[in-house]
Amino acid sequence: MNLNPRWLLLLLSISAEVWSVPIDRNGGKQEAVHIEEENQEENVDTGLYYDRYLREVIEVLETDPHFREKLQTANTEDIKNGRLSKELDLVGHHVRTRLDELKRQEVSRLRMLLKAKLDSLQMDHASLLKQFEHLDPHNQNTFEAKDLELLISTATKDLENYDAERHEEFKRYEMLKEHERREYLKSLDQEKREKEEKRMQELKEKHRQHPKVNVPGSVAQLREVWEETDGLDPQEFNPKTFFKLHDTNEDGVLDEQELEALFTKELEKVYDPKNEEDDMMEMEEERLRMREHVMKNVDINKDRLVSLEEFLKSTERKEFNNVKEWETLDDTKPVYTEAELQRFEAELRDKEEELKRRADTLRQEQELLKERVLSRLYKVLNFESVFSELAVQEFESQKHHKSVRIYSFLLKNKDEQVHKKTRLSWVRS
């Protein structure tokens, strides 16, 4: 099984949320910290499509005293070698029943997802089922140790790819932005284009003017947080106190979110949501870069968590006293090369052409439909006019027939009357 630090982090952060007793750390400040904690907990989302299932499984496992105890004493190694998953055999019956129920729900959710996909894409069932690696597909009714193992390993793997995907997404975002900028400039006449180019250049320069950004994880950066965010005396800066203060969920380690929260002060120097020239997407990319930089230097055992020991060790390194300025995204070379941009633009063109083709086909179909409807309409209208003409004729002829009939009746009657009269006169005579 893969190394799964994030899982441990997840387990621990949720266990802290459920079981920790609030500790009054520094009087009046406690309430503000507590609110911040609550907000953070609400926002914790792994971003995985089976996030809810993952969280529910952990929550249910937490209700078992035996498993909870094992969880609190487990280390990364225990999770890595599957020892923790084996503990599942010892949890209470009602916990197992609840887990079975969760798995059945998840299977049924995925089945619906599959059905929706199958209906629209007509892909084969087996290859789609393989996409769901977080549960054992051979057993759809009960939750077994295998399920816990698969859930842990898949979540770990997926979370490890998460940062790489975020960088990739950002790259595409930047290329699209540049593409649109170029297209916009192309659409202008020379005079306007030069004016716009000048304006854009000015905005770019304005964006690059900002106070010095400290290197993340350096003493200068931490001191600024200590002084400005925590409101403490700079003379009394103490790494151990700093660590405890920013381990907001009090689980003894700084996780990715707790680290990223430390960079807000630096990011605010460069990015202001009110400014046209500051792109908040770039700010989030910058935050990710900062976190990666600190993790690379401080997280010695690579479990994506900073322990107190690791943190204190980092303060002894010479890089800790780095007074150089952090190179922001704008100081480094673009996240894409010109060749990559060209490829991206070619892809966009292909997609646009495909869309245009589809729109053309649709338009042609509409035209055809319109013609058909119109011709049918004409027929109906024509038929009506012919019909009404016929109706008039028919009426006329009926009128004619009627008068003939009346006339002949009258004649007949007249004849009869004449005949009667004659007969009477004959009888009388």
Nearest distance in Å: CB 83, Ca ion: 20
Through-space distance between the first and last CA atoms of the chain, rounded to whole angstroms: 136
Q: Is 15 in the site for Ca ion (CB under 5 A)?
A: no
Interacting residue with Ca ion among 87, 266, 285, 303 (CB under 5 A): 303
Q: What is the four-CA torsion angle of 183, 184, 186, 192, rounded to 10 degrees?
A: -170
Amino acid at 100: D
Q: What is the spatial distance between Cα 91 and Cα 67, in angstroms, rounded to a whole number?
A: 6
Interacting residue with Ca ion among 85, 249, 314, 328 (CB under 5 A): 249
C-beta separation of 73 from 25 below 8 A:
no
Nearest distance in Å: CB 301, Ca ion: 5
Closer Cβ to Ca ion, 255 or 285, answer by number: 255
Q: Where are the beta strands (DSSP E) in 114-184?
A: none
Nearest distance in Å: CB 309, Ca ion: 9
Q: What is the spatial distance between Cα 196 and Cα 202, in angstroms, rounded to a whole number?
A: 10
Closest CA to 156 of 346, 272, 9, 340: 9
Interacting residue with Ca ion among 301, 321, 366, 398 (CB under 5 A): 301
Q: Is 260 in the site for Ca ion (CB under 5 A)?
A: no
- How many helices (H) and strands (E) the chain has is answered by 17, 2
Q: Which stretch binds Ca ion (CB under 5 A): 52-60, 102-110, 299-307, 340-348?
A: 299-307
Of residues 279-298, those binding Ca ion (CB under 5 A)? none
Closer Cβ to Ca ion, 140 or 257, answer by number: 257
Closer Cβ to Ca ion, 92 or 252, answer by number: 252
Of residues 49-88, those binding Ca ion (CB under 5 A)? none
Amino acid at 405: R
Q: How many residues bind Ca ion (CB under 5 A)?
A: 8
Q: What is the spatial distance between Cα 175 and Cα 42, in angstroms, rounded to a whole number?
A: 33
Interacting residue with Ca ion among 64, 299, 314, 320 (CB under 5 A): 299
Nearest distance in Å: CB 156, Ca ion: 15
Closer Cβ to Ca ion, 72 or 139, answer by number: 72
- Phi first, then psi, for residue 215 (nearest 5°) are -65, 125
- The pair of structure tokens assigned to 16 is 């802290």
Nearest distance in Å: CB 234, Ca ion: 24
Looking only at the bridges linking them, the beta strands covering 306-307 and 253-254 are antiparallel
Closer Cβ to Ca ion, 282 or 303, answer by number: 303
C-beta separation of 7 from 160 below 8 A:
no
Interacting residue with Ca ion among 247, 266, 282, 286 (CB under 5 A): 247
Q: Which stretch binds Ca ion (CB under 5 A): 224-232, 241-249, 333-341, 347-355?
A: 241-249
Q: Which stretch binds Ca ion (CB under 5 A): 72-80, 141-149, 251-259, 402-410?
A: 251-259
Interacting residue with Ca ion among 305, 311, 341, 344 (CB under 5 A): 305
Q: Is 314 in the site for Ca ion (CB under 5 A)?
A: no
Residue matched to tokens 């926002």: 43
Q: What is the spatial distance between Cα 264 and Cα 286, in angstroms, rounded to a whole number?
A: 10
Helices (H), 44-144: 51-62, 65-73, 76-80, 83-86, 93-121, 125-129
Closer Cβ to Ca ion, 148 or 305, answer by number: 305
Q: Is 251 in the site for Ca ion (CB under 5 A)?
A: yes
DSSP codes of every residue in 370-414: HHHHHHHHHHHHHHHHHHHHHHHHHHHHHHHHHHHHHHHHHHHHH
The site for Ca ion (CB under 5 A) is made up of 247, 249, 251, 258, 299, 301, 303, 305
